[in-house]
């Protein structure tokens, strides 16, 4: 008991973990009620200072004896322990299962509720698994800690159970599907790094030339002009949608008439593209990084709506230069990356520092398996 409450240090970290997860109760501190100095103050039993009543947490019965500041610090300290981590993990498992079983998410199939009925059952299972593996990750054999441990389902079509779950390092918590980590895939990283990359310098040069051509002509969207037979001058529009809304016609009507501007329409409205702007057809590499740029821009907008205040100055040219400098290989594992959708080792942008947005110098290209919530080491 003296070791459990840090009076005597542990010799074995596994013993410390088991004691933290399997203990039945916590030490309860009982203090003598101290009379309030006024009707608006009360003494906090944790920091032993007089605090306003409004700064105390309120439970179902009455105002607690611990102020909000001390409650927050105790909660943060509890979250860094094995018991706090797995208690939150069990709660998240039940919440994610309930969310997936809603009507909107039933396309992937229903999940059984977690096999553990109570938190203590789950804690005992976690203590047994971690003891057997000596606090090692089931995929990489890396040392686990309360801040890095995570739970992973072996078969994503099944629910959380002792037979279908393993404890891993949080960096291997992938998106699932073709990107799910396994022990065999991790062990084959060194062999995969020796595979010749599909990097093609000519393809990169062609994509960069395409980007230069777009900049020279002022953009990729075609400028559209429209004119009625009774009008003398052509009206300029920013794009096809703007022209369709201005003339109250459909999008397809504008494109069909712009391709054949000399045809005689029934309503007398003619459309044509800007003759100075060429129609450019990018290669597959440019199209892939154009999709990445759009997705990162949308992700930045979502983060800024939540008050993150992230900056963004990433361009397609920056992504192409990164692809060239890395020779088409992952910045973390040196594995050749793919530019095809829904394939293993697909290229993905990763921020080196998560507190900074997608800006020049803070982005590297990695395989999607490595783009997890926990930062990998360069």
Q: State the CB neighbour count (10 A cutoff) for residue 96.
A: 13
CB of 245 closer than 8 Å to CB of 239: no
Domain membership flag for residue 314: yes
What's the total number of domains in the chain?
A: 3
Say whether both 299 and 340 belong to one domain.
yes
Say whether both 297 and 325 belong to one domain.
yes
The DSSP code for 150 is E
pLDDT of residue 230: 86
Say whether both 78 and 118 belong to one domain.
yes
Say whether both 140 and 269 belong to one domain.
no
Distance of CA 338 to the CA centre of its chain: 20
Say whether both 287 and 267 belong to one domain.
no
Residue matched to tokens 């409004």: 54
pLDDT of residue 325: 94
Burial 342-358 (b: 16+ CB within 10 A, else e): eebbbbbbbbeeeeebb
**For residue 268, what is the domain's CATH number?**
1.10.10.10
| pTM (two decimals) | 0.72
Domain membership flag for residue 60: yes
Q: Which candidate, 212, 217, 209, places its Cα nearest to that of 277?
A: 217
Say whether both 167 and 227 belong to one domain.
no
Say whether both 117 and 84 belong to one domain.
yes
Domain membership flag for residue 33: no
pLDDT of residue 4: 44
Domain membership flag for residue 34: no
pLDDT of residue 373: 72
Domain membership flag for residue 186: no
Q: What range defines the domain where residue 137 resides?
A: 12-24+40-173
16's enclosing H/E stretch is helix 13-22
Say whether both 286 and 258 belong to one domain.
no
Domain membership flag for residue 81: yes
Domain membership flag for residue 142: yes
Say whether both 74 and 168 belong to one domain.
yes
- In 26-161, at which residue ranges do the beta strands (DSSP E only) sit? 41-43, 50-52, 56-58, 63-67, 149-153
| pLDDT averaged per 10 residues in sequence order, the chain, 378 residues | 51 79 55 54 80 74 75 86 92 88 65 88 93 92 92 89 92 84 89 88 91 73 82 85 88 83 78 69 88 92 89 92 94 92 89 89 91 72
pLDDT of residue 175: 77
Say whether both 62 and 131 belong to one domain.
yes
Say whether both 147 and 52 belong to one domain.
yes
pLDDT of residue 365: 94
Say whether both 235 and 319 belong to one domain.
no
Which residues have a Cβ under 8 Å from the Cβ of 42 and sit 6 or more positions away? 36, 50, 51, 53, 56, 63, 65
83's enclosing H/E stretch is helix 82-100
pLDDT of residue 108: 63
């Amino acid at each position: 008991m003296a070791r459990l409450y840090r009076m005597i240090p542990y010799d074995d970290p596994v013993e410390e973990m088991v004691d933290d997860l399997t203990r039945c109760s916590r030490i309860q501190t009982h203090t003598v009620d101290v009379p309030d100095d006024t009707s608006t103050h009360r003494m906090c039993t944790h920091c032993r200072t007089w605090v306003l009543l409004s700064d105390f947490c309120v439970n179902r019965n009455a105002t607690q004896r611990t102020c909000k500041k001390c409650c927050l610090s105790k909660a943060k300290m509890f979250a860094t322990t094995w018991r706090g981590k797995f208690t939150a993990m069990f709660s998240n498992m039940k919440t994610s299962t309930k969310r997936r079983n809603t009507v909107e998410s039933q396309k992937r199939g229903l999940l059984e509720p977690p096999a553990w009925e109570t938190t203590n059952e789950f804690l005992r299972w976690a203590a047994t698994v971690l003891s057997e593996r000596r606090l090692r990750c089931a995929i990489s054999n890396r040392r686990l800690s309360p801040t890095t441990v995570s739970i992973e389902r072996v078969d994503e079509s099944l629910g959380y159970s002792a037979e279908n779950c393993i404890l891993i390092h949080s960096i291997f918590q992938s998106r699932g599907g073709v990107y799910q980590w396994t022990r065999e895939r991790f062990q084959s990283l060194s062999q995969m790094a020796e595979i010749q990359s599909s990097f093609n310098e000519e393809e990169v040069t062609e994509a960069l030339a395409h980007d230069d051509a777009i900049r020279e002509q002022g953009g990729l969207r075609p400028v559209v002009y429209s004119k009625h037979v009774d009008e003398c001058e052509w009206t300029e529009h920013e794009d096809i949608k703007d022209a369709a809304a201005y003339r109250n016609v459909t999008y397809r009507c504008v494109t069909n008439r712009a391709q054949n501007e000399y045809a005689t329409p029934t309503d007398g409205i003619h459309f044509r593209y800007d003759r100075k702007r060429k129609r450019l057809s990018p290669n597959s590499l440019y199209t892939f990084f154009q999709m990445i740029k759009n997705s990162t821009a949308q992700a930045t907008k979502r983060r800024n709506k939540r008050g993150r205040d992230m900056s963004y100055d990433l361009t397609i040219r920056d992504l192409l230069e990164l692809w060239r400098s890395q020779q088409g290989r992952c910045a973390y594992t040196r594995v050749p990356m793919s530019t095809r959708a829904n394939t293993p080792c697909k290229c993905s942008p990763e921020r080196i520092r998560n507190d900074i947005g997608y800006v020049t110098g803070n982005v590297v290209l990695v395989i999607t398996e490595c783009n997890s919530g926990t930062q990998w080491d360069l």
